[in-house]
Structure 1
């Protein structure tokens, strides 16, 4: 069975989804395209070789105009939950880009609706679909470095050269935490199998930043097993750039796991590296990485299609993603309040 999808939101990253990610997954077929900007809609429709009858200005029109099984939402984040609810109420499964929503209260409405209707609701947390974090997840589950004592995560990029009007990230609400650190929060939950219970975040605002909200954030994250995680992230770093998944040092009684992932363009795996060091004096040894059929967004899309067809529930279901979103929300609250904040997950 091929899952027939309506793809909503074709500008910028959504257009990249349409042209480079979705066509790689044989389990899905695009039957409808939606974007309110006519030029954007026509460009993608023509690039994909779809008929004009497959192009729509709104999801409402597309749902009425084509037979589909699911909706993929890559529109702006403020539209994610309203579009997801419309699709769910029409009986369609939903895959939505991250961040799922800007608040857990908003996101949980879609989660509850999907569960009431028995439909798949998945969030695209594409960084999970890379070899390095998969290897680290398995190594930690096997107790390779023993009881964990600390995790340090660093993310460094410079993205401050365009005019304010030319860069969508400058206007993104809480761009460091909501748009970037959400990836690292989700990876933290994935590789450790633990949940965050409390976070203390401090954001800084250098005068040269073009971002409307914080572009630098430091955090202390407490996990439910008592482990404390140190996080430093910056869009304004003149230090050596990290890969998009950052650089991770995971320390335990029996050694250190170090990894980095998603370096360069989407789907590039050459920069994925995991090393194991047994003591301070040992050379770090490379760890063999698994081979994945699909990486990045393609991996998540394939998992979504298989869930729609009756396979396992997606690891990044809407219900599961509430915990990543709740950590993001608590970090944003803490950056504003100057106080540690509990991670509150709605039921």
Structure 2
């Protein structure tokens, strides 16, 4: 290529570059003027958007949550049903009695064994459940199993939408069932799901507390917590304990307001009633599982003598499931307990039917047996 041709190429390149620069300047000038004219309008739009966002933020602000979204009755029935169907060997059962009420707050205690009990707090007027506290000092393997079983039941009762795997995941968030050793003496973990706070806290000794409360209900303890605090479940617990202690000092039984039964006798009566209820629920579980021999062994000798075994078994040939709930004590002595309950019986064919039932339980040695059963369709 000669010098002239090279010059022409260079010149063309320079012209092209200058042309792009000119176009860029022209576009920039035009755009700048156009934007300058539209700035006031855009600023107004931006301000309007910001005002809308502020209004939206105001709308999505949630009020404090002081109940878990269900009533005390719903929780109690769910808990007892799960205990009967999935944890029957532990004998867990919530019975609503000895309720203390103050300032539209009601609370009662459901003991499970010598070391574990559940405190249940709810609004007096609406019966909306504020939360529960599982208090325990488990030492033996059985006591520990009872405590952990109660925790599993609480989580399942408050989360009916969760699968067993989902419940396990929630508990792992609390540092439980992670595959390693969990020190329940010092544990202090919490998590929130569906506006419910779940918290497990060791007390340093053998004691451990498990909370399942509305997310804005506090769990703080100590001298700084006032008994009049309306949104602290431990204030509820303290008020119940003081009230219960005052009644015990007076030597009265809370249900009858009389002075004859000591606290030890009352406790033994409760344990006997729990054992009797366990035999009754286990009887129906064995019927559901078609373990007829085990169910048959829940009966007294007199009851067995009054029936034909083959005919008795044949009476359950269409039974799909048999479950009792809402168990209550009609009467009790040292060796006899009469229980009232609702029976849900499912047959195929036949479908689901409900019965109002009454069972007479007799104590023989350390064992309770069913001596009589009467069911009436409702």
User: Which category of TM-score, normalised to the shorter sequence, fits these structures?
Assistant: under 0.3
TM-score scaled by length of structure 2: 0.26
Larger relative contact order, structure 1 or 2 (CA cutoff 8 Å, min sep 6): 1
TM-score scaled by length of structure 1: 0.28
Structure with a larger share of its residues in helix = 2
